[in-house]
């Protein structure tokens, strides 16, 4: 009989300790009154499109990041794993894909919520998207090369502001009759700096011209096609 009483007392003691632990845990949750802190990498002006990263931090863990474009629909980004810091690129649509706000002035509202339900006060940033309608201009320098050897074709793509910094370049080499004898797809290249592309000249001896075509990252083609002579000896 005495053993039974001892067993009962032991179970009761364990239950009391467990209860105290649970109360303590909830007490910690209740004592967290600090809201998350969010920031963005937004700038005042963008060309053609804008991608703004919203970053949130919280000592207890970030649960959700919210954003709203131009007082429209509030978008919620659920943060997996409840990390102390998280980020999301905005603005997004309902399925989480990027949305181009379009040319003009815009307003992005953003805030976050932590794992304990604390919601940050909303913040707002204004930005403008400007259309890049400036056409690039290309230039080239003359070169001489022996037949069968490799020539270095030197060229430049000038693209003044607003610019995204790159352009897709195609170079065409033409003979005296204007027939294209070789096409070089140089791909995406930086603008406003000296560039070089290699070309093995296997065509007949004579004087040719190479033409530099460029389309900037906003889709604007060159307003002037730069060209220069290639003398094959």
- Distance separating alpha carbons of residues 21 and 231, to the nearest angstrom: 87
As to burial, measured by CB atoms within 10 angstroms (0-12 exposed, 13-18 middle, 19+ buried), residue 205 is: exposed
- Distance separating alpha carbons of residues 183 and 201, to the nearest angstrom: 12
Digits of tens for pLDDT over the chain (233 positions)?
A: 444 343 333 333 333 333 333 333 333 555 888 999 999 999 999 988 999 999 999 999 999 999 999 999 999 999 999 999 999 999 999 999 999 999 999 999 999 999 999 999 999 999 999 999 999 999 999 999 999 999 999 999 999 988 889 999 999 999 999 999 999 999 999 999 999 999 999 999 999 999 999 999 999 999 999 999 999 99
For 166-228, the DSSP string reads: EEEEEEEEE-TTS-EEEEEEEEEEESSSEEEEEEE--SPSEEEEEEEEEEETTSPBPSB-EEE
CB-based contacts of 172, cutoff 8 Å, min separation 6: 180, 182, 183, 184, 210, 211, 213
Domain extents for the chain?
35-130, 137-232
Residue in 161, 180, 178, 160 with CA at minimum distance from that of residue 170: 180
Domain 35-130, architecture per CATH: Sandwich (2.60)
What does the pLDDT read at residue 172? Answer: 98
Q: Which CATH class is domain 137-232?
A: mainly beta
Residue in 198, 221, 223 with CA at minimum distance from that of residue 210: 198
Identical fold, 35-130 and 137-232: yes
Residue in 92, 208, 195, 82 with CA at minimum distance from that of residue 145: 208
| CA triple 189-175-181, angle to 5 deg | 60
What does the pLDDT read at residue 47? Answer: 87
């Amino acid at each position: 009989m005495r053993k039974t009483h001892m067993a009962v007392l032991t179970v009761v003691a364990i239950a009391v300790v467990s209860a105290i632990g649970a109360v303590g845990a909830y007490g910690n949750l209740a004592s967290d009154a600090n809201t998350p802190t969010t920031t963005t990498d937004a700038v005042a002006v963008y060309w053609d499109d804008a991608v703004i990263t919203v970053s949130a931090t919280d000592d207890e863990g970030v649960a959700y990041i919210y954003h709203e474009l131009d007082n429209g629909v509030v978008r919620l980004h659920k943060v997996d794993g409840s990390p102390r810091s998280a980020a999301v690129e905005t603005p997004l649509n309902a399925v989480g894909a990027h949305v181009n706000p379009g040319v003009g002035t815009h307003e992005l509202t953003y805030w976050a919520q932590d794992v304990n339900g604390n919601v940050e006060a909303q913040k707002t940033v204004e930005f403008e998207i400007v259309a890049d309608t400036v056409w690039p201009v290309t230039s080239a320098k003359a070169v001489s090369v022996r037949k069968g050897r490799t020539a270095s074709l030197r060229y430049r793509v000038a693209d003044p502001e607003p610019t995204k910094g790159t352009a897709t370049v195609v170079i065409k080499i033409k003979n005296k009759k204007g027939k294209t004898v070789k096409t070089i797809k140089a791909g995406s290249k930086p603008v406003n700096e000296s560039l070089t592309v290699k070309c093995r000249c296997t065509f007949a001896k004579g004087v040719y011209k190479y033409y530099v075509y460029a389309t900037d990252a906003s889709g604007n083609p060159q307003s002037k096609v730069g060209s220069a002579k290639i003398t094959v000896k």
